[in-house]
Amino acid sequence: MEDIKKGNNTTAQPVIDSKIPEGPIAEKWTNYKAHQKLVNPANKRRLDIIVVGTGLAGASAASTLAEMGFNVLNFCIQDSPRRAHSIAAQGGINAAKNYQNDGDSVYRLFYDTVKGGDYRAREANVYRLAEVSNNIIDQCIAQGVPFAREYGGLLANRSFGGAQVSRTFYAKGQTGQQLLLGAYASLNRQIQLGKVKSYNRYEMHDVVIIDGRARGIIAKNLVTGKFERFAAHAVVIATGGYGNTYFLSTNAMACNCSAAIACYRKGAYFANPAYVQIHPTCIPVHGDKQSKLTLMSESLRNDGRIWVPKKLEDAKALQAGKKKGSDIPEEDRDYYLERRYPAFGNLVPRDVASRAAKERCDKGYGVNNTGLAVFLDFSESIERLGLDVVRQRYGNLFDMYEEITDVNPGELAREINGVKYYNPMMIYPAIHYTMGGIWVDYELQTSIKGLFAIGECNFSDHGANRLGASALMQGLADGYFVLPYTIQNYLADQITVPHFKTDTPEFDKAEKECKARMDHLMNIKGKRSVDSIHKELGHIMWEYVGMGRTKEGLETALKKLKEIRKEFETNLFIPGSQEGMNVELDKAFRLNDFITMGELIAYDALNRNESCGGHFREEYQTEEGEAKRDDANYFYVSCWNYNGSDDVAPTLIKEPLHYEAIKVQTRNYKS
Amino acid sequence: MESNISFTLRIWRQAGPKEKGGFKEYHMSDIPTDTSFLEMLDILNEQLIEKGEEPIVFDHDCREGICGMCSLYINGHPHGPATGATTCQLYMRRFHDGDTITVEPWRSAAFPVIKDLMVDRNAFDKIQQAGGYVSFNCGGAQDANAIPISKTAADEAMDSATCIGCGACVAACKNGSAMLFVSAKVSQFALLPQGRVEAARRVKAMVSKMDELGFGNCTNTGACAAECPKNIKLSNIARLNREFLCAKFKD
């Protein structure tokens, strides 16, 4: 661990400029917009922008930049922009509309988000997010997004974790789908108008830097297997998070961190990699052949109650398959979230709910054959509201659950003493979202000039933990309302730079390196498949860098990750050739970067000797098992700087946090 | 209950768009019934890689039935025997010990095979680009609650908007028609005030693009709606026809 210590003690640190505008928190964004540089319409036509990714952030940014008049080149890894993984977001999107008259405001959304993030987010960014949240809803309605409505014709809302107001807008359990299709529609309009060029089944392999500025990318055409060069005045990365480092996660199969890692290797800082969100309500792991985990929306916690048995013998009987959840009577159930957190109950933030589930299971109260599951029960709400109302709210989730597990949560199982017991769902926490990401300043620009990062791909808004229904909000805020402004401040002095050519030495070199990497992977000619190594990586990450982390565990992880890299470098086997489509080769390319990512997460987790949000170090907890922060020593954003090789530890640079509007305190969801 | 089954797979293999394809048989033994269909294919691919052979190429991504990326024509049904579910939501408990399972790509002139079971569905994007949107620039929207929309209309629009663009309707149709897909988008906007303004222009543009791209005509057999993993209703096609006729009358 010598090299890590060295990293920590580096003295000659580059100064981090987060470019937070002057003025009181509520006026910063207004001030920024009033004084920023703009590009006039005639000049916009001369400027090209690459947007990599077509999720909520990527699609909204690409369409909006094109509407403004820029020429946009937009890339996606799937067969269509509509497939990006934002599509799978279920529950909803937050906004401070206060349509329910329950006391919501921009300030309250800002406050809840900062608090939910365990006081590790940048205040100014979060305030701006809360500020533009209302515009997002207006924008989506204008696009024809069919949000849920009340009988009077106005928009409906529901509650989500970490909030005491109902501010979440939703479209059944498919909010992400509807928002993404809205952005995809706007994108399609711009493609039709010729302002966006859409490249499907393309994967970015590298970013091209010319004279210190991002000027293009090398992308692989996944169908032909050939590398192609693309140049632009600015490059925007919107490629999502790195959850698949853990192999099993709720991310889609193709989600990867390679574009982000390519930027990191070129000098973009990677911020707060240790902040990984583990979502409390996923369907538990069922076997070693499983390829991914399925999320059950957090909205279920509005009406579902989470419990485990009070008695250890009941838990044992459940684990042995001798009892079913519905066999356990009401008085023997421990609704542990309601017991521990009376004020928020089942709606505590995700990190708190996940850890509470782990705590119960670690003590032996788990309810399935692996002992790694808790119940989510709808008996009470079905009795209160009727099955029809519950099905109207969650029907598609009930069906999804039944298709996967063969258990129908809406089915009456038994009646004891007049109390009706329905089949409960079984849930367990799983990797879901990554708060960390490429470091960006207030303008969403990375530490490389002309390179921007938006959506889950950046680190900016969620601190150490993201609240439910805030990912959609951030992705669309960045893409529709923030980046299209801030990127102009950068582009304003680029208007005299002509369209780039791709036959420069920088492009030659970058493409050659990409090609060499592919040759190298093909020539290892070992024995193991990509997935088998990836699974092993996932096990290490979940075991040592998952929900509960320790110093020893993290040091073990770093050692084991070195072994994994060696195994990958010497024993990987890829069938076929580089000609045409080679799915295994593409997966190997991504796995290489997942290993680098795994190390980054472990380095950061090891450095952060405190518990906060999604990062829980077992050495740092209160007697009640709550996370114990250390504001005196860790009130900063960890920015990791690449040192030229994957074999050398990265250098830590700190961006101190400054809170002006909010008093930093211990999170309390009890009263 | 969980058990293990063994079965034979007949899978379409095709090296490229211009190559000649054919069925190849693979025997699978002791597959747990709580394995998903795609996980079963993962297992087969691992076995193929172990033998040094090229794995079977198929489209898939979210594996929770929403991205629309997975396809597969299984035993004569797009997305297999389950109703209201995509291939990725299909579990092996639907099959029996000793079965022979035939797996083909979507078959349609408008969806050429790229490799094995993977097809090119770019035509769907092109139809959407022709008019599947409200012409509106970001920034100028009024308050979201300014136009009340009846819950019935909003719910119905939502049902149409649920289409995941997978192409099962085209694969199911003997004519290779894309009417269900096109009508779902036309309906969503026709039902909402935001979409009414351009309704006539939209339906004409999308239908004419659909015809141009080589999709067949609709003869109302209803196979599309029967096989749709998202239960998009046939009434969407009726609404499209009405919208189309009204638009043509106005011309």
pLDDT digits (tens, 9 = 90+) for A385-434: 999 999 988 887 898 899 888 899 989 999 988 899 999 999 999 999 99
- How far apart CA A147 and CA A376 sit, in angstroms, is 26
Sequence-distant (≥ 6) Cβ neighbours of residue A79 within 8 angstroms: A200, A201, B59, B69, B120, B121, B122
In a domain, residue A125? The reply is no
Q: How many CA atoms lie within 13 A of B196 on its CB side?
A: 5
Bridge-based pairing of strands A333-334 and A412-416 is unpaired
Q: Under an 8 A CB cutoff, do A189 and B129 touch?
A: yes
Best to test chain B binding among A132, A403, A525 (most B CBs inside 10 Å): A403
Q: What CATH number should be reported for the domain holding residue A306? A: 3.90.700.10
- How far apart CA A217 and CA A556 sit, in angstroms, is 36
Residues in A closer than 8 angstroms to B161, CB to CB, are: 146, 171, 178, 181
> B233 to chain A nearest CA, in Å?
16
Run of H or E including A432:
strand A425-434
In a domain, residue A552? The reply is yes
Residues in B closer than 8 angstroms to A575, CB to CB, are: 48-49, 52-55
Run of H or E including A517:
helix A505-524
Q: Got the DSSP string for A611-671?
A: -BTTB-BTTSB-TTS-B---HHHH-EEEEEE--SSTTSPPEEEEEE---SSS---------
Q: CATH 1.10.1060.10 spans which residues of chain B?
A: 121-250
Best to test chain B binding among A65, A99, A189 (most B CBs inside 10 Å): A189
Residues in B closer than 8 angstroms to A483, CB to CB, are: none
Within a 10 A sphere around the Cβ of A505, how many other Cβ atoms? 8
Confidence of residue A157 (pLDDT cuts 50, 70, 90): very high
Q: Under an 8 A CB cutoff, do A79 and B46 touch?
A: no
| pLDDT over 70 (residue A4) | no
Query: Count of domains in chain A?
Result: 2
> A616 to chain B nearest CA, in Å?
28
pLDDT tens readout for residues A16-47: 999 999 999 999 999 999 999 999 999 999 99
Run of H or E including A105:
none
Residues in A closer than 8 angstroms to B36, CB to CB, are: 291, 404
Q: Under an 8 A CB cutoff, do B55 and A146 touch?
A: no
**What's the first-to-final CA gap in chain A, in angstroms?**
42
Residues in A closer than 8 angstroms to B190, CB to CB, are: none
Q: Got the DSSP string for A392-411?
A: HHHHHHHHHHHHHHS--TTS
Which of B59, B137, B150 lies nearest to residue A67, judging by beta carbons?
Answer: B137
The residues of A annotated with a catalytic role in the active site are 350
Burial category of A492 from C-beta neighbours within 10 Å (exposed 0-12, middle 13-18, buried 19 and up): middle
- How far apart CA A508 and CA A505 sit, in angstroms, is 5
Which of B55, B138, B188 lies nearest to residue A146, judging by beta carbons?
Answer: B188
Best to test chain A binding among B138, B147, B166 (most A CBs inside 10 Å): B138
Look up residue A171 and give its amino acid.
A
| pLDDT over 70 (residue A6) | no
Q: Kindly state the average pLDDT of the residues A454-471.
A: 95
> A481 to chain B nearest CA, in Å?
8
pLDDT for the residue A5: 41
Q: Is the dihedral of CA A13, A15, A18, A20 positive or negative?
A: positive
Which of B32, B34, B194 lies nearest to residue A144, judging by beta carbons?
Answer: B194
A528 and A424 share one domain: no
Q: HEC states along A274-341?
A: CCEEEEEEECCCCCCCCCCCCECCHHHHHCCEEEEECCHHHHHHHHCCCCCHHHCCHHHEECHHHHHC
- How far apart CA A507 and CA A418 sit, in angstroms, is 74
Q: Under an 8 A CB cutoff, do B93 and A406 touch?
A: yes
| pLDDT over 70 (residue A8) | no
Q: How many CB pairs under 8 A join A and B?
A: 210
Four-way CATH pick for B121-250: 3.40.190.10, 3.50.50.60, 3.40.50.970, 1.10.1060.10: 1.10.1060.10
Residues in B closer than 8 angstroms to A403, CB to CB, are: 82, 85, 89, 91
Q: Under an 8 A CB cutoff, do A153 and B148 touch?
A: yes
Contact call for residues A609 and A4 (beta carbons, < 8 A): no
Q: Give ∠ CA A277-A282-A286 in degrees, rounded to 5.
A: 120
φ, ψ of residue B136 to 5 degrees: the values are -150, 130
Q: Under an 8 A CB cutoff, do A79 and B122 touch?
A: yes
> B86 to chain A nearest CA, in Å?
11
How much is the ipTM here? 0.98
| pLDDT over 60 (residue B81) | yes
> B117 to chain A nearest CA, in Å?
13
Which of A181, A189, A292 lies nearest to residue B161, judging by beta carbons?
Answer: A181
Which of B69, B129, B149 lies nearest to residue A192, judging by beta carbons?
Answer: B129
pLDDT for the residue B98: 97
In a domain, residue A404? The reply is yes
In a domain, residue A328? The reply is yes
Confidence of residue A164 (pLDDT cuts 50, 70, 90): confident
> A321 to chain B nearest CA, in Å?
12
pLDDT for the residue A272: 98
Q: Kindly state the average pLDDT of the residues A512-538.
A: 97
Confidence of residue B2 (pLDDT cuts 50, 70, 90): low
| pLDDT over 50 (residue A367) | yes
- How far apart CA A91 and CA A110 sit, in angstroms, is 20
Burial category of B223 from C-beta neighbours within 10 Å (exposed 0-12, middle 13-18, buried 19 and up): buried
Look up residue B227 and give its amino acid.
E
Q: Give ∠ CA B83-A56-A478 in degrees, rounded to 5.
A: 160
> B111 to chain A nearest CA, in Å?
12
| Of residues A285 and A450, more confidently modeled | A450
Distances (CA, A) of A148 to A93, A158, A171, A398, B156: 12, 10, 5, 19, 11
pLDDT tens readout for residues A179-218: 999 999 999 999 999 999 999 999 999 999 999 999 999 9
Q: Kindly state the average pLDDT of the residues B39-61.
A: 97
A545 and A640 share one domain: yes
Which of A83, A289, A484 lies nearest to residue B35, judging by beta carbons?
Answer: A289
Which of A139, A151, A581 lies nearest to residue B138, judging by beta carbons?
Answer: A139
Sequence-distant (≥ 6) Cβ neighbours of residue A259 within 8 angstroms: A52, A53, A204, A207, A237, A239, A457
| SS3 of residue A424 by DSSP | coil
Q: Under an 8 A CB cutoff, do A174 and B66 touch?
A: yes
pTM of the full structure: 0.96
Which of B130, B133, B151 lies nearest to residue A150, judging by beta carbons?
Answer: B151
A546 and A641 share one domain: yes
In the block, tokens 């040192």 appear at: A643
Run of H or E including A494:
none
Run of H or E including A523:
helix A505-524
Q: Under an 8 A CB cutoff, do A154 and B42 touch?
A: no
- % of chain A at pLDDT higher than 90: 88
| pLDDT over 60 (residue A300) | yes
pLDDT for the residue A384: 94
In the block, tokens 């090296």 appear at: B15
Q: Which of B148, B136, B169 shows the shortest CA–CA distance to B236?
A: B169
Residues in B closer than 8 angstroms to A84, CB to CB, are: 67
Query: What residue numbers bound the domain in which A635 lies?
Result: 505-654
Bridge-based pairing of strands A227-231 and A270-271 is unpaired
Nearest CA in chain A to B87: A403
Q: Under an 8 A CB cutoff, do A529 and B50 touch?
A: yes
pLDDT for the residue A172: 87
| pLDDT over 70 (residue A11) | no
> B34 to chain A nearest CA, in Å?
8
Distance of CA A72 to the CA centre of its chain: 25
| Of residues B1 and A544, more confidently modeled | A544
Q: Under an 8 A CB cutoff, do A584 and B165 touch?
A: no
pLDDT for the residue A14: 78
Best to test chain A binding among B4, B62, B142, B162 (most A CBs inside 10 Å): B62
A523 and A425 share one domain: no
Residues in A closer than 8 angstroms to B89, CB to CB, are: 400, 403-404
Mean pLDDT, chain B, rounded, equals 96
Which of B53, B93, B188 lies nearest to residue A575, judging by beta carbons?
Answer: B53
Confidence of residue A12 (pLDDT cuts 50, 70, 90): low
Structure tokens at A643: 């040192």
Q: CATH 3.10.20.30 spans which residues of chain B?
A: 4-114
| pLDDT over 60 (residue A302) | yes
Mean pLDDT, chain A, rounded, equals 94
> B251 to chain A nearest CA, in Å?
23
pLDDT tens readout for residues A314-358: 999 999 999 999 999 999 999 999 999 999 999 998 889 999 999
B12 pairs with which residues across the strands? Answer: B23
| Single residue among A400, A430, A460 that ends a domain in this structure | A430
Confidence of residue A7 (pLDDT cuts 50, 70, 90): very low
Q: Under an 8 A CB cutoff, do B145 and A155 touch?
A: yes
In a domain, residue A195? The reply is no
| SS3 of residue A515 by DSSP | helix
As assigned by CATH, the class of the B4-114 domain is: alpha beta
Q: Which of A133, A132, A140, A239 shows the shortest CA–CA distance to A185?
A: A140
pLDDT tens readout for residues A244-273: 999 999 999 999 999 999 999 999 999 999
Distance of CA B109 to the CA centre of its chain: 15
Q: Got the DSSP string for chain B?
A: ---EEEEEEEEEE-SSTTSPPEEEEEEEEEEETTSBHHHHHHHHHHHHHHTTPPPPP----SSSS-S-----EETTEET-SSSS--GGG-BGGGS-TT-EEEEE----TTS-EEETTEE--HHHHHHHHHH-S----TT----TTSS---HHHHHHHHHHHT-----HHHHH-TT---HHHHHHHHHHHHTSHHHHTTHHHHHHHHHHHHHHTT--------HHHHH-TT---THHHHHHHHHHHHHHHH-
Look up residue A432 and give its amino acid.
H
| Single residue among A404, A430, A456 that ends a domain in this structure | A430
Phi-psi region of A4 (alpha: psi -120 to 50; beta: other; left: phi over 0): alpha
Contact call for residues A376 and A424 (beta carbons, < 8 A): yes
Structure tokens at A463: 């601190």
Q: Under an 8 A CB cutoff, do A79 and B57 touch?
A: no
Q: Which of A8, A47, A14, A23 shows the shortest CA–CA distance to A442?
A: A23
Q: Kindly state the average pLDDT of the residues A286-308.
A: 89
Q: Under an 8 A CB cutoff, do B68 and A484 touch?
A: no
